[in-house]
Amino acid sequence: MPTEILMPALSPTMEEGTLAKWLVKEGDTVSSGDLLAEIETDKATMEFEAVDEGTIGKILVDGGTEGVKVNTPIAVLLEEGESADDIDTSGGGKGADEKAPTEAEASPATKTPEAGKGGSETPAPQSTGPIPAPKDDKGDRIFASPLARRIAKDKGLDLTQIKGSGPKGRIVKADVLDAKPEAKAAKAEAAPAAAEGAKAMPAGMGADTVLKMYEDREFEEVKLDGMRKTIAARLTEAKQTIPHFYLRRDIKLDALLKFRSQLNKQLEGRGVKLSVNDFIIKASALALQAVPDANAVWAGDRVLKLKPSDVAVAVAIEGGLFTPVLKDADTKSVSALSAEMKDLAARARDRKLAPHEYQGGSFAVSNLGMFGIDNFDAVINPPHGGILAVGAGVKKPVVNDEGEIEVATIMSVTLSVDHRVIDGALGAQLLEQIVQNLENPMVMLA
């Protein structure tokens, strides 16, 4: 039977999006991985790929349509042997979440007209009809494409043990061909209950109330885009649900600045120029390894302690910000981190990051020093355990170890910590390790 192509959720907070344009037309043949459309999410404009092979039988949502809800059918895919005549145009087509009878309910058996009067049931022929949709141990339907179900049946695979890579975990052809069954991911149980809170706009005075307050003043009304709505919701959630506490330290940068200058001279021929922020990322990643209990995230009813140091970095863009994640930052050289950060920042400003590039991490860095900010307190980005707010390096008089006054370049940092994940003493140990790494930069290369 024809398969509906649904509006995908291309980011964790996406509820609806704009179907910017179609890259295929009705009658085109597509394979898994082919580009179907460009979709604008709350974070970026992204390309949507086909997960099954077939022919585009009908386009249900025109290009340029705004406010298309996730899981809304946007097109119909025909399999081999099917035609446009097979498409149900009565408006009764079933989306992924509708309560229509499933194939599993329709296919196992058929009753004779007399069955309701005590007659017997006749088994449906096993060689015809659709393959029943499998269910998990809770009786919930496992979503899989018809082609995937047929291949799984032929290969004797249990679909409940296969992880789907399609939209919303739908099992597609490539998943069953790989034939690598997996147990159900435990991470689903660890999803924070607070995620539901991110879907709603923050509470407060309603628009009518605020408009009335300023009805006699001139103003320009700016419509919120998806990114600004998401930022407002997530930061409100963060400040309302995360018990923040703050740890502050001053860091002497002179040794780092001298070391950085020497490295940049040696790397000039390779076109590499390291920034202070590159060293801050490296110092944070190594500190998370040195204080492993602080390399953790809040997961609703438990804490997840991570093994790798995945550090997110705030990047300001027009109308909002991204936090791309530098994965395994503790294992990479400063020059490699620098190159990766430049690439991620450039694509963030163009809104070209893929979701996996800004999801995850256990810790974040937000640097406003280049704007002349001496110090500030950053808001934790859930589910991270902490975020380091970095101010500008400023020359100040300080007292050295010999009791003499000298001029040094001092950078003020503030570590915002989620007290559910990290206690005060543990947070102090993490910040001390970051300070030691930055004040003794050669240690980071050892």
268 and 159 share one domain = no
Cα angle 324, 330, 335 (rounded to 5 degrees) comes to 75
Q: Is residue 96 part of a domain?
A: no
345 and 435 share one domain = yes
pLDDT in tens, 258-284: 999 999 999 999 999 999 999 999 999
Q: Is residue 65 part of a domain?
A: yes
Per the structure, the complete domain to which residue 150 belongs is given by: 3-90+102-107+128-188
Residues 6+ apart with CB under 8 A from 101: none
177 and 279 share one domain = no
What does pTM read for this prediction? Answer: 0.61
Specify the number of domains making up the chain: 2
327 and 405 share one domain = yes
Q: Which of 244, 356, 384, 419 is catalytic?
A: 419
299 and 164 share one domain = no
Residues 6+ apart with CB under 8 A from 441: 255, 256, 259, 260, 279
Q: Is residue 193 part of a domain?
A: no
Of all residues in the chain, what percent carry a pLDDT higher than 90? 46
Q: Is residue 205 part of a domain?
A: no
Q: Is residue 113 part of a domain?
A: no
CA distances from 127 to 86, 150, 391 (A): 20, 12, 70
64 and 164 share one domain = yes
The rounded distance, in Å, linking the Cα atoms of 23 and 56 is 11
390 and 306 share one domain = yes
Angle between helices 276-290 and 424-439 (to 10 degrees): 130
The rounded distance, in Å, linking the Cα atoms of 270 and 283 is 23
Here the CATH number for the domain that contains residue 292 is: 3.30.559.10
The pLDDT-based confidence of 97 (bands split at 50, 70, 90) is very low
Cα 110 off chain centre by = 45
26 and 166 share one domain = yes
CA atoms within 13 A on the CB side of 365: 27
pLDDT in tens, 420-446: 999 999 999 999 999 999 999 998 987
Here the CATH number for the domain that contains residue 46 is: 2.40.50.100
Judge contact between 391 and 372, C-beta under 8 A.
no
The rounded distance, in Å, linking the Cα atoms of 226 and 13 is 9
Q: Is 419 a catalytic residue?
A: yes
* Six-digit token string for 353: 């990051």
Q: Is residue 212 part of a domain?
A: no
The rounded distance, in Å, linking the Cα atoms of 202 and 200 is 6
The rounded distance, in Å, linking the Cα atoms of 145 and 1 is 10
